[in-house]
Structure 1
Amino acid sequence: MTGQPDGPGGAGVLAALPAEHSGRLTALAREAVFPAATRIFEEGERADRFWIVRSGTVALDVQVPGRGRAVVETIGKGALLGWSWLCPPRQWHLGAETRDAVHAWEFDADAVRDLCAEHPALGMALVTVVAETIGDRLRATRTRLLDLYGPTGSQGSSSAP
């Protein structure tokens, strides 16, 4: 790693971890730079790494049968890019493409899982952050797909008790 995360303790994911844990995690980081309009990963591919975005934005998308890719969320500075590395079968659940140039910290999933095994408190803190990210992404995906493909007028169609 050729530097430290932005600001004291970083932003977003790193800020959610106690300093001791974020320090251990960032010791494993490598700098990654992606030009605008770069596909970082595709839904269904092997997930063997993840990133913490330092600058720029990344669009997350899902393949909709017969319709192609639908952007479900756009993330930026401090956000965790990729959570599928944590749980088998370790395949990306979404796709990701840069909207503009992105600078990120890249982490090898095997090395991070090994670190978590060595330091269970760090592992629990990281799993908690990843679980929160999964929940946020699930809500964003559901909302976006309902906006795009849900039945017209579905918001007021339920009958009152």
Structure 2
Amino acid sequence: MTTTLKITSLPPAHRDRLLSLAEDVRFSAARRLFEEHTVADRFWILKTGAVTLDAQLPHRRRAEIETLGPGELVGLSWLFPPFEWELGAETLSPVRAYEFDAPQVRALCRSDPEFGFAISQWVGLVLTQRLHATRGRLLDLYEAAARA
């Protein structure tokens, strides 16, 4: 697992407010949480277990981009129009998570600018880290393919 920003990096008051909107959910291993280019209407923060983010490469199988664990945010596309997933995600093990209704969180972000700014900053920082991880992983895959 890479080192990513966890829920604990949000200021406590904003973290508590966000968690007040959460629903506790469980998923079995090998469960697809979402597919690329589908509607991003929810997101999760992992309590236990692991989730893999992946990308569908043309004429190839899915490429694993990153593995996420407890405290990490699963799903970023819910915050940014057009609200469609850029990657796919699948559970690697049984997972317990906080699940959030994206439209409800976006509405709270609009009604409370301080909360919205904190959430946007957090998701933006996670997005930056994921972009770097994705770039590195795809470069590794293309390098390996070039050697074959």
Instruction: Identify whether the pair has TM-score above 0.5, normalized to the shorter chain.
Output: yes
CA distance in 2, matches of 1:129, 1:23: 14
The answer to which structure, 1 or 2, has the higher relative contact order (CA under 8 A, 6+ apart) is 2
Matched, 1:67 2:60: yes
Matched residue of 1:148: which SS?
helix
Moved over 4 A (4+): none
2:51 is equivalent to residue 53 of structure 1: no
Q: What's the secondary structure of 1:85's corresponding residue? A: helix
Number of aligned residue pairs: give it: 141
RMSD, aligned α-carbons: 1.1
| Mapping for residues 100-111 of structure 1, pairs under 5 Å | 100-111=93-104
* TM-score normalised by length of structure 2: 0.91
* Per-residue deviation, 1:101: 0.5
Give 1 or 2: higher helix fraction. Answer: 2
CA distance in 2, matches of 1:96, 1:14: 19
**In the TM superposition, what is the alpha-carbon distance from 1:15 to its structure 2 partner?**
1.1
AA at the equivalent of 1:123: G
The one-letter code sitting in structure 2 at the alignment partner of 1:86 is L
Residue 124 (structure 2) aligned to one of 126, 131, 140 = 131
How far 1:115 moved relative to its partner? 1.0
1:120 aligns with 2:113: yes
Separation in 1, partners of 2:19, 2:126: 19
Once the 2 structures are TM-superposed, how far is the Cα of residue 133 of structure 1 from its aligned partner? 1.1
Check whether the contact 2:7–2:73 (CA below 8 A) recurs between aligned residues: no
**What secondary structure sits across from 2:56 in the alignment?**
strand
CA offsets, 1:79-103, max 9 Å, x none? 1000101111110000000000011
Pairing partner for 1:24 from 17, 35, 57 = 17
Percent of pairs with identical residues: 50
Give the CA deviation at 1:23: 1.2
Match of 2:31 in 1: 38
Gapped regions of structure 2 (runs ≥ 5)? none
